[in-house]
Structure 1
């Protein structure tokens, strides 16, 4: 029995160390005995399965180690690339620093020039702020004057409206009275017809005729009186209407005189340049629409340049600023018209690359000062610029 147990342990060790073949199983059965073999066979099978699982685990461990090695290799590559990029960035920064130092050595006034430019920019910003404040105060004053004038004009037209209301009230009263008269006559006719029906069988025909004739005379008299009243009322309405019309005409004539005085007062000093008269605004910058309105107030219109001679004559009086003129493509993009004539301009002289409708929002024409010269350009209509007015005469 002891020998059999020893053979059993040896057999288990053999199974653990290697895969058993059919011959090995038979040898084990001979050594252990048939009963021992049948009892231990399930145990041996389980041991074999455990050994297989151990082998699989070993294989997986090897694969995991390979993956970890690959991951470490990739991380090393990334670290090396990062270090290379860091070195290159350091080299670029060093090169830029050396380049800047060399420029400063070649031009010792470089930093001083930058400081001067910054100082000039600060001055420009201060002047721009003051200019905006001045424009704002002028706009507020203009709006106050316009509101006062509009209030006076509204008050005058309210008086006209009251007069017209009185006229319509008289006409309405006449219409009511005419309707009442017609109603009264119809009632009397209905009463007469009823009386005729009631006495149709009466023997007093002559009496009836007399009553009818008397009623006819009375009716004719009432109709004549009504027509007379109607004519009188009509005459009164005509007289009041004529009086109202005269008052309205008087008010409108006064308003036209006031407008003419305002127009003459607001007129700017045009001066003759070439064959035309121009007013060149030198201080107030407005958008294109305001420029159109101001030129009309001054008794002219935005400048409409007809040929190169007019442009050359005008350029000698312009400063280094941009000026609004009357061309625009507000109706159809790319089709420029004169706001003065409504027709295509007879002369155009664009800057190179213009018109380009920048940002799809440039529709109003200007004389643009660029590269030390004035030429035409399309610009945003809401931009603030000086403007040039033109008049056929003083």
Structure 2
């Protein structure tokens, strides 16, 4: 709490009291004047006479001191009001800062609570997983052992009942023999104590076994879980290391292949699918001249290895034009071989009813509109070249 010297409330109260006294003196003076009877009508000049002739000298002196006090302290009171307003404004700013800090604290508490909720959910899932795996961890012969213990307890109870019956029968036969009766009672009591002791001992063993089993199962489960997590972590790190090595190896192979391809691929050939081809669109040649043109460029008339490669090449062709391939059966009709490798061609996509031989010169395969057909080898057509001689 801040106290400003010169702005004490007691002085302000005293000022208000003096103003009240002044007001009271004026009222009393007017009242006494009215009791004195009517006065002569005032002349116009009498309105200008000062307060000292209209009031007694004592009244004027009191009023003068009050007015002097008010005039002397007016500036100080104004300053006090400004200071009070500044203090109020500073307090308001401080309250706003505290509210912002409180809001931030509430946000942090909410974030912490959300984190705790996530952690509790994870603990619940772990507990459920532990409960599900607990029956698997319990030894399979536990129920057999418990059943055997229950069988032993039942046998003891039957033995006790049988002994009780025998003792009762013996008691009826030798009822008049007091000594024998006492002995029988002692034997019965001893047997009952022994059986009860065995029964209690078995119960305690059973409870201890169950408790020990629970603790063993939980501890074993936690140990197995820890070992499993550690093993998984090691495997993950190992897999990441292997993956990194494979990626580096593949990168090196890719760079090597890129360098080799750059050096060995003739100009004008482009990668289509997994191999390099040149589609001749500018000139048309017969089949033999097209083969010679491909050889001069550093390649061979093309053969197709599979459906994916065929579709990729067809997508780049003009469907209204025919293109020679390096597949023919000029040596033996119906035995189509690749001119690049000399081996039988591996892929065909025939036009319906093809191959159809209208003339003996129709021994060279061409492509049009996505299909293959046999065509006259002497006709001039566009053609397709490949770089390798393996297909």
Q: What TM-score do the two structures reach when normalised by structure 1? A: 0.30
The structure with more radius of gyration: 2
More helix as a share of residues: 1
